[in-house]
């Protein structure tokens, strides 16, 4: 099954099981299932995953007392003498007005996300955006849009010059570049350089990393090293470039990873995916270290789709499906076990 087709029908299946699919989408999904036994098996496998998610008694208790006290003082709301707890269960649960107010206060406190630093370098006014606490969307002076993953940063002139639009980047981000034939759009990430006119692509390039990655969605880009500008690797839509900074090599290949934007979209698709790849995907999407303790279970595979599920919820499904154990030590998640349930 083609990656794009699989992603599309996985989304339809997810909408079906969540009760959000329209009649037209249900008819289309029915036809797709009847065309191929593999399609039916995938539909049933994702149904089992959905049932596991619904059966989980995942509840999170949040103590908002301290946050509420700070917020209520600033907002002029009288303090309550009794400590309250908000229990977040499924969406159909009801909250009192007091609960809603306190939850709103917590959300306001948690959503103070990123900050802007204005600097002046060499007489040119620059703006730096750092996604310090969460995903951040930035519109550049030319109308291009950059979505930064948590921890990523960009620096750009407040006003681009007439010849080029140059951006300094660090971390993981997605670019939707406004087309301007007379001004090339250049992204520099350390010693890696990406040049475009108008396109959409994903960049993964941290200052500390020895490897960088560019995934092209549409348009065309040229990838090179800053000190080797004439040695360019041209990408076409659906391709990616893997850049080795130590070896000074750029490898062009087909991108077969449907989850490279999971950190932004919240949609994760596993199609007979091995556990070692699953661990890397979850680490990338949720910013956690995920370790497989026993190499024997790294080859266990899973087929499932998750749409904006919590990491804890996904790990619970993996535990049940593959008969493995998940434990947490600090910021590290450890997956252990002797083997896998037969798929």
Model pLDDT for residues 1-44, shown as the tens digit of each residue: 555 556 677 777 877 777 777 777 777 888 888 888 888 888 88
- In the predicted model, is pLDDT for residue 278 greater than 50? yes
Intrachain domains 115-254 and 262-336 with the same fold? no
Q: What is the band of 54 on the pLDDT scale with cuts at 50, 70, 90?
A: low
Cβ atoms < 10 Å from Cβ of 260: 21
Contact of 140 with 177, CB cutoff 8 Å: no
Mean pLDDT across the stretch 275-304? 91
Contact of 257 with 267, CB cutoff 8 Å: no
Whole-number pLDDT of residue 233? 93
Mean pLDDT across the stretch 160-169? 89
Distance CA 55, CA 48 (A): 11
Torsion of CA 282, 283, 288, 293, to 10 degrees: 90
pLDDT, tens digit, for every residue of 6-16?
Answer: 667 777 787 77
What secondary structure does DSSP assign to 256-322, as a single string?
Answer: --TTTTHHHH-EEEEEEEEHHHHHHHHHHHHT-EEEES-GGGTT-EEEEEEES--HHHHHHHHHHHH
Higher pLDDT, 237 or 96: 237
Which DSSP category does 208 fall into? S
Whole-number pLDDT of residue 73? 54
Mean pLDDT across the stretch 232-236? 92
E strands of 4-111, at which residues? 60-63, 85-88
> Span 262-336: which CATH code?
3.55.50.30
Whole-number pLDDT of residue 182? 85
pLDDT, tens digit, for every residue of 96-148?
Answer: 445 445 545 444 444 433 333 333 334 568 888 988 888 999 999 999 999 99
Q: Which residues pair with 228 in a beta bridge?
A: 225
Distance CA 267, CA 261 (A): 8
Distance CA 204, CA 10 (A): 26
Q: What is the band of 55 on the pLDDT scale with cuts at 50, 70, 90?
A: low
Whole-number pLDDT of residue 280? 92
pLDDT, tens digit, for every residue of 293-319?
Answer: 988 899 989 999 999 999 999 999 998
Q: What is the band of 81 on the pLDDT scale with cuts at 50, 70, 90?
A: very low
- Give the domain ranges of the chain: 60-110, 115-254, 262-336
Mean pLDDT of the chain: 78
Whole-number pLDDT of residue 94? 43
Whole-number pLDDT of residue 5? 59
Contact of 158 with 126, CB cutoff 8 Å: yes
End-to-end CA distance of the chain: 19
- Work out the angle at residue 176's Cα, subtended by the Cα atoms of residues 163 and 151, and round it to the nearest 5 degrees: 100
Torsion of CA 164, 167, 172, 176, to 10 degrees: -40
Q: Which residues pair with 203 in a beta bridge?
A: 173, 214
Distance CA 269, CA 305 (A): 5
The percentage of residues in the chain with a pLDDT greater than 70, rounded to a whole number, is: 74
Task: Give the fold, CATH level 3, of 115-254.
Answer: Jelly Rolls (2.60.120)
Distance CA 300, CA 318 (A): 10
Mean pLDDT across the stretch 265-281? 93
Whole-number pLDDT of residue 70? 55
Whole-number pLDDT of residue 341? 56
Q: What is the band of 89 on the pLDDT scale with cuts at 50, 70, 90?
A: very low
> 76 exposed, middle or buried (CB, 10 Å; 0-12, 13-18, 19+)?
exposed
Whole-number pLDDT of residue 88? 37
**pTM metric for this prediction:** 0.60
Tell me which residue has tokens 């750029």: 250
- Cβ neighbours of residue 85 under 8 Å, at least 6 residues apart? 61, 62, 63, 64
Higher pLDDT, 296 or 338: 296
């Amino acid at each position: 099954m083609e990656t794009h087709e699989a992603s599309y029908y996985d989304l339809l299946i997810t909408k079906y099981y969540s009760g959000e699919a329209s009649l037209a989408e249900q008819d289309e999904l029915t036809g797709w299932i009847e065309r191929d036994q593999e399609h039916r098996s995938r539909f049933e496998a994702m149904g089992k995953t959905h049932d596991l998610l619904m059966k989980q008694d995942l509840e999170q208790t949040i103590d908002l007392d301290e946050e509420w006290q700070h917020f209520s003082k600033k907002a002029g709301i009288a303090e309550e003498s009794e400590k309250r707890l908000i229990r977040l269960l499924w969406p159909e649960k009801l909250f009192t007005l007091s609960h809603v107010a306190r939850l709103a206060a917590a959300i306001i406190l948690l959503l103070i996300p990123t900050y802007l630093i204005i600097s002046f370098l060499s007489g040119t006014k620059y703006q730096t955006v750092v996604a310090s606490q969460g995903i951040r969307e930035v519109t550049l002076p030319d109308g291009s849009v950059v979505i930064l993953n948590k921890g990523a940063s960009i620096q750009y002139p407040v006003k681009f010059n007439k010849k080029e639009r140059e951006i300094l980047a660090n971390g993981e981000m997605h670019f939707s570049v406004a087309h301007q034939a007379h001004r090339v759009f250049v992204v520099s990430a350390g010693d890696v350089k990406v040049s475009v006119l108008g396109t959409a692509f994903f960049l993964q390039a941290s200052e500390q990393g020895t490897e960088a990655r560019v995934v092209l969605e549409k348009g065309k880009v040229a990838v090179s090293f800053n000190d080797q500008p004439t040695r360019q690797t041209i990408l076409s839509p659906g391709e990616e470039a893997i850049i080795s900074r130590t070896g000074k090599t750029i490898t062009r290949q087909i991108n077969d990873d449907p989850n490279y934007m999971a950190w932004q979209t919240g949609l994760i698709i596993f199609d007979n995916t091995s556990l070692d790849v699953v661990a890397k995907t979850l680490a990338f999407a949720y910013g956690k270290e995920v370790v497989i303790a026993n190499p024997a279970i790294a080859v266990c595979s899973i087929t499932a789709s998750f749409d904006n599920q919590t990491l804890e919820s996904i790990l619970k499904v993996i535990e049940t499906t593959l008969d493995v154990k998940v434990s947490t030590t600090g910021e590290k998640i450890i997956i252990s076990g002797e083997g896998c349930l037969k798929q």
